[in-house]
Amino acid sequence: MLTVLNVDGGGVLEAVPPNLTVPRGKSPLVAREGDTVELECLVSGKPKPIILWSRADKEAPMPDGAMQMESYDGVLRIVNVSREMTGSYRCQTSQFNGFNVKPREAEVELIVQYPPTVEPVSTETRQGLGRPVVMTCRVLRAHPSRVLRFEWLLSNRLLHAGAFDAQRDETEYTIRSLNRDGWGEYTCNVINEAGAGKCTFQVTGKAYPPEFYYDTYSPLWQNRPRVYGFKLQWTQMNPNAVDRIVAYRLGIRQVGGASRPTASSPPSLLPLSSLSPLSLSCASFRSSFVTGRKK
């Protein structure tokens, strides 16, 4: 106890040096990402000092961007806590009314749990019937990282579930021979105490969309007065990714003046065996098509 003479009033004031402790059960403090947390240090003394909060484990700013934060009640309140805020925090008494009293300090450990971060988040796999498909969902980071569980689903139907062992950070699901019922959206949920990360695989037998060539040499020629020929060419990316393409569907729309109604012809199915350079007799047109696949 310090005894201080009050010069103005002639009386005597008693000052009690500060004491700083962490309440039982308040360190380590476990929270989930996005929560609001309160780190607490109990302070006593007369007069009661202001508490300064800072990071103890590294040189890093506090949630408000400053290197220190003041607290009059010993509580540090953090809104929307993030995984980057995991670590040790120091609470320390401020200067004790100008007296040569060593600052008191204590530390609080904050652990922020968050759901697994996984890859790929979303991907598309094109595959033909009877072929194998292997899907892999990999965990990049998670806290807690132990006792991770996984589940594989196809359109919300559970296919397989289990737990990660200590040596692996990925899970696989294999289709040995793809059938028509195997096309669809596969989901792998990786789960810990804080939530779940999700990998999505779209397995499809649909071919890649074909693309027109826009640099065909001399695509337009005149057969006879007011009758023109047009060579239309396209390419197909990775046609062997799915079942053999047997036909293309070509839609043709003739477009006249602004005041004339638009005439449309129904899409025609063109077998590959008949696909010689295509001539279209029309003044102007727009074309679009989709691929068909072997059923």
What's the CATH number where 60 sits?
2.60.40.10
Residues 87 and 15 grouped into a single domain: yes
Residues 67 and 100 grouped into a single domain: yes
Q: What is the pTM of this model?
A: 0.70
Residue 97 is predicted with a pLDDT of 56
Residues 21 and 81 grouped into a single domain: yes
Cα dihedral 143, 149, 152, 153, rounded to 10, equals -80
Residue 1 is predicted with a pLDDT of 54
Show the domain range for 163. Answer: 120-204
Residues 152 and 106 grouped into a single domain: no
Q: Give per-residue pLDDT as tens, 132-172.
A: 999 999 999 999 988 799 999 999 899 999 999 878 899 99
Residues 167 and 234 grouped into a single domain: no
Residues 88 and 10 grouped into a single domain: yes
Residue 279 is predicted with a pLDDT of 38
Provide the domain count of the chain. Answer: 3
Residue 271 is predicted with a pLDDT of 53
Which of 114, 132, 157 represents a domain boundary (last residue)?
Answer: 114
Residues 241 and 283 grouped into a single domain: yes
| Residue segments in the chain with a per-residue pLDDT below the cut of 50 | 5, 7, 258-265, 272-295
Structure tokens belonging to residue 275: 């696909």
Phi first, then psi: what are they for 81, rounded to 5°? -65, 145
Of 274, 271, 265, 276, nearest to 291 by C-alpha is 271
Residues 110 and 127 grouped into a single domain: no
Q: b/e map of 206-216 (b: 16 or more CB within 10 Å)?
A: bbeebeeeeee
